[in-house]
Structure 1
């Protein structure tokens, strides 16, 4: 049976794991309080390109959770870190909402609205994306030949279903420009995983990643040798597990079950909320 002492640090995805829309998902508060009582480390690791670290912290606090700013990692924040660590001068053309520009500005990264002055194009989810935006981004990519994306998610869970995410827009820009995506900055990138290790300062084998997506959350853990737990409250389903080559260490119905059920073999039935080990 898993207990909070099994790992030294717990990394939680947000959308589909901690909340959907403005609704806190089952078991979240109980699990986080238990982890903190055991004095374990917590990170919130989101691919959301529409929130800054500060906004992510404030959102969780509105939902009644205790959060410290250093416990929050977002795709725009990691993107800004990436550009800040580059050795050459950059001028970034962005497709995305305010969070991306805010985080770039926090690191004094130059931003341009002129496609012909861009050294890189950074694409994130933009819920007001237009044909004009597509044309401008296409021209910028054709000019600089550098197409980066904040995260590889094609959809995002919302109350009642899903909305298109970053990859839906980036794919259109990719096709229009004839330029393949050069770099994915968010989960499951190596950079994202390395920043998690740096921030936590614990052995990677003592880190557990909990998330709702096989191809991002669970793949991130697999590539960095973290423990992995898929929660079935978001995008990936039990049916997806049957066909995916990405196998989590644990599968739970929701966070109520994280410390509640005995581990079972992969062949066991976990559709009732039990805890399966792969």
Structure 2
């Protein structure tokens, strides 16, 4: 099992790993306290396309956790950085919830509601997704706009099941426009991995990724040299592991098992 000294940075997915809906999952508080008590770093890595770092921090604090802004890495935040670094003069037509535009504006990226003026179509989770939005997005792409997607997640876990996520909307636009997606920002892409390394300030083999999705969290580690731990409180289950070529280094039922042996030994010495 994992020992606290094995890694310098413990990176946790959020939905299905830290919480589901507004419920904190088992073992979260004690696990985070233990990691920090040993002088190790914590990162919260989410593919969320409708949470800024500030909102993510506030949500975690409402659930009773103590968080620093620099510990949070959201796909939405990295998407805004992507445009700032690689397409600072972009004019972006947004298919997504309101926070997407807000985060782009924080990085001085211009958005437009006129498809003919768009250089890029950006797709995130969109609760108001409609026929008109598909039409506007495809028309922008017909005019030469590139198709950028905040994350590759088709669904998101909620307390009573699942809801459609970003890739469900992006695929509709991809099919309608006849144009392949140009860039995906979220886990498990190279861009996300590179930014996580920059923010973590350590080598890839000193980072552990803990998450509930094989195709994003575990694949992020497998493709970029991070160790991985699958937690069975979200999307993936044991049967999925047997069927998939994506294999985690470790597997636990919930976060209370991550350092169970070490915590029990410390308690016995008190």
TM-score higher than 0.5: yes
> Is 2:181 aligned against 1:181?
yes
1:153 is matched with which residue? 153
TM-score where L is the length of structure 2: 0.95
Query: Is contact 1:97–1:125 with CA below 8 Å preserved after alignment?
Result: yes
- In 2, Cα distance between equivalents of 1:102 and 1:74: 14
After superposing the two structures, state which structure 1 stretch, 162-171 or 86-95, moved more.
Answer: 86-95
1:255 is matched with which residue? 255
1:89 is matched with which residue? 89
Over 3 Å counting, the alpha-carbon distance change for 1:222 and 1:36 in structure 2 is same
1:28 is matched with which residue? 28
Where do 5+ consecutive residues of structure 1 fail to align? 263-278
1:206 is matched with which residue? 206
Render the CA deviation track for 1:4-40: whole Å, top value 9, x for unaligned. Answer: 2211000000000000000000100110000000010
Query: Is contact 1:145–1:179 with CA below 8 Å preserved after alignment?
Result: no
Where do 5+ consecutive residues of structure 2 fail to align? 263-270
Query: Is contact 1:91–1:111 with CA below 8 Å preserved after alignment?
Result: yes
1:271 is matched with which residue? none
TM-score where L is the length of structure 1: 0.92
- In 2, Cα distance between equivalents of 1:38 and 1:120: 45
1:148 alignment partner, SS class: strand
1:215 alignment partner, SS class: helix
Q: What is the CA RMSD across the aligned residues, in angstroms? A: 1.2
Query: Is contact 1:52–1:99 with CA below 8 Å preserved after alignment?
Result: yes
Query: Is contact 1:50–1:97 with CA below 8 Å preserved after alignment?
Result: yes
After superposing the two structures, state which structure 1 stretch, 122-131 or 88-97, moved more.
Answer: 88-97
- Give every structure 1 segment of 4 or more consecutive aligned residues whose post-TM-superposition deviation is greater than 4 Å: none
1:219 to partner: Cα distance: 0.5
- In 2, Cα distance between equivalents of 1:65 and 1:88: 35
1:88 to partner: Cα distance: 6.0
2:121 alignment partner, SS class: strand
- In 1, Cα distance between equivalents of 2:218 and 2:65: 24
The residue correspondences of 1:76-225 to structure 2 (distance < 5 A) are 76-86=76-86, 89-225=89-225
Aligned residues: 262
- In 2, Cα distance between equivalents of 1:63 and 1:5: 28
> Is 2:71 aligned against 1:71?
yes
1:275 is matched with which residue? none
Query: Is contact 2:43–2:72 with CA below 8 Å preserved after alignment?
Result: yes
2:48 is matched with which residue? 48
Render the CA deviation track for 1:187-231: whole Å, top value 9, x for unaligned. Answer: 001011111111111111010000000000011111110110000
